[in-house]
Amino acid sequence: MHTPRSPGSMLAHLACTLVVAGALGCADGAPASHAAASESAPPGMRWIPGGEFTMGSDDPTAHPNERPAHRVRVDGFWMDETAVTNAEFARFVAATGYVTVAERAVDWEQLKQDLPPGTPKPPDADLAPGSLVFTPARERVPLSDLSGWWRWQQGACWKHPAGPGSTIDGQPEHPVVHVAWDDAVAYATWAGKRLPTEAEWEFAARGGRYGTRFAWGDELRPGGKPMANIWSGTFPVEDTAEDGFAGVAPVRSFPPNGYGLYEMGGNVWNWCSDWFRSDAFARRSASGCLENPPGPRDSWDATDPLAKKRVIKGGSYLCCASYCESYRPSARRGTPPDTGSSHVGFRCARSAQ
Ligand SMILES: [Ca+2]
- Indicate whether 249 pLDDT > 50: yes
Residue 334 Cα to ligand 1 midpoint, Å, equals 22
pLDDT at 4 over 70: no
Interval between CA 246 and ligand 1 midpoint (Å) = 5
pLDDT of 107? 85
User: Whole-model pTM?
Assistant: 0.90
Are 257 and 205 in contact by the 8 Å Cβ rule? The answer is yes
pLDDT-derived band at 37 (thresholds 50, 70, 90) equals low
Mean pLDDT of 185-204: 98
Question: What is the 284 CA–ligand 1 centroid distance (Å)?
Answer: 35
Q: Kindly report the number of other CB atoms within 10 A of residue 237's CB atom.
A: 14
Range with lowest mean pLDDT among 32-41, 49-58, 273-282: 32-41
Residue % of the chain over a pLDDT of 90: 76
The answer to whether the beta carbons of residues 339 and 132 sit under 8 Å apart is: yes
- Residue 267 CA to ligand 1 center (angstroms) comes to 7
The CA 163 to ligand 1 mean position distance, Å, reads 21
From the CA of 291, how far away is ligand 1's center (Å)? 36
Q: How many CB atoms sit inside 10 A of residue 315's CB? A: 30
Interval between CA 79 and ligand 1 midpoint (Å): 24
Domains of the chain: which residue ranges? 28-98+172-353
More confident residue, 117 or 317: 317
For residue range 130-188, what is the model confidence (pLDDT) as tens digits?
Answer: 999 999 999 999 888 888 899 999 999 999 999 999 999 999 999 999 999 999 999 99
Reported residue count of the chain is 353
Q: Is the pLDDT of residue 204 over 60?
A: yes
Q: Which helix (H) or strand (E) holds 350?
A: strand 349-351
Lowest mean pLDDT among 72-76, 125-129, 311-315, 336-340: 125-129
What is the helix (H) or strand (E) element at residue 199, kind and residue range? helix 198-206
**Distance (Å, whole) CA 346 – CA 327:** 15
Contact predicate 333/310, CB 8 Å = no
Average pLDDT, the chain: 89
CA–centroid distance for 255 within its chain = 19
Band the pLDDT of 38: cuts 50, 70, 90.
Answer: low
Q: Assess whether pLDDT exceeds 60 at residue 240.
A: yes
Residue 211, phi-psi category: left (phi > 0), alpha (psi -120 to 50), beta (remainder)? left
Whole-number pLDDT of residue 34: 53
How much distance in Å is there from the Cα of 122 to the middle of ligand 1? 36
Residue 16 predicted with pLDDT over 60: no
For residue 13, the SS3 value is: coil
- DSSP assignment of 233-254, as one string? SSTTT----TTS-SS---TT-S
Segment 64-87, tens digit of pLDDT: 999 999 999 999 999 999 999 999
State in Å: Cα 239 to ligand 1 middle: 7
Q: In angstroms, what is the span from residue 323 Cα to ligand 1's centroid?
A: 14
Residue 134: predicted pLDDT: 96
One-letter amino acid identity for 308?
K
- Confidence (pLDDT) at 228: 98
Q: Does domain 28-98+172-353 have CATH number 3.90.1580.10?
A: yes
For 270-283, write each residue's pLDDT tens digit: 999 999 999 999 99
Q: Is it the case that residue 39 has pLDDT exceeding 80?
A: no
d(CA 13, ligand 1 centre) in Å? 24
Whether residue 15 is predicted with pLDDT greater than 70 in this model: the reply is no
Which of 286, 297, 275, 280 is CA-nearest to residue 23? 286
